[in-house]
Amino acid sequence: MSKYPVNHRKESHYRKAKQKGYRARSAFKLIEIQKRFNIFKRAFYILDLGSAPGSWLQVTKQFAIENLEKYNDNHYSRTYYKIMGVDLKKLTPIEDVEIVRMDLTNKELTNKINEYFNREKLDLIISDASINKSGNKFSDQARQIKLCYEILKITKFLKYKGNFVIKLFQGNDYEEFYKVLKKKFINIKSFKPKSSYKKSNEIYLIALKKK
């Protein structure tokens, strides 16, 4: 259960999400990230980790479809997109999106990714994955960082100059993870969307242009 349930159904982002057909208010976090950092530029092959309930997949599909028309030129472009979502929880299907119900640390995930994307490198990997919080700030942050390092391994599927987005909890290990990410990407930005709960310690690292 969320740590911040007060007036959730009356909260503006929740209402707006329902009006626009998104499954959760978290859709607006990804939209904010796109507006600020343009992570979906020429992104056609996209992997979404920690996908439940599917709002990020909905937004991703919208941008992927737009890209087919927007980037129909002589530079890097495609005539189709491929999107895969991964989560332990069961997701309601989304048309033309591959959904895999699996732990992100499962070694079989490598085969699933290679099979679906035909062993081609990905343009973008995004992750809103989170541990189940216990309420202990320090242990939760440590467990989240551990998960983030596992997710970081999956960036081996990302193409040269591909982009990566990951959620962390601010704490003792944050700076070290930032340094590790800096070795793999040209530009790293930290960002807390306005649609995040104010009291939440979540923060996103936007890693642009894989080295």
Q: Is residue 3 part of a domain?
A: no
- Considering 61, 82, 167, 210, which one is annotated as catalytic? 167
Q: Is residue 64 part of a domain?
A: yes
CATH assignment of the domain containing 143: 3.40.50.150
Give the number of domains in the chain. Answer: 1
Range of the domain at 102: 8-210
Nearest to 126 by CA among 87, 97, 164: 164
Q: Is residue 1 part of a domain?
A: no
Q: Is residue 91 part of a domain?
A: yes
What pLDDT is attached to residue 55? 97
Dihedral sign, CA of 203, 85, 83, 66?
negative
| One-letter amino acid for residue 199 of the chain | K
**Is 167 known to be catalytic?**
yes
Q: Is 192 exposed, middle or buried (0-12, 13-18, 19+ CB in 10 A)?
A: middle
Nearest 10 degrees: Cα torsion 180, 182, 185, 187: 150
Alpha-carbon distance values, 132 to 2, 3, 57, 129, 135 (Å): 10, 11, 21, 10, 9
What pLDDT is attached to residue 17? 67
Q: Is residue 90 part of a domain?
A: yes
Q: Is residue 89 part of a domain?
A: yes
Question: What is the residue-level pLDDT of the chain in tens, covering all 211 positions?
Answer: 344 444 454 466 566 666 677 888 899 999 999 999 999 999 999 999 999 999 999 999 999 999 999 999 989 999 999 999 999 999 999 999 999 999 999 999 999 999 999 999 999 999 999 999 888 888 999 999 999 999 999 999 999 999 999 999 988 899 999 999 999 999 999 999 988 877 788 999 999 999 9
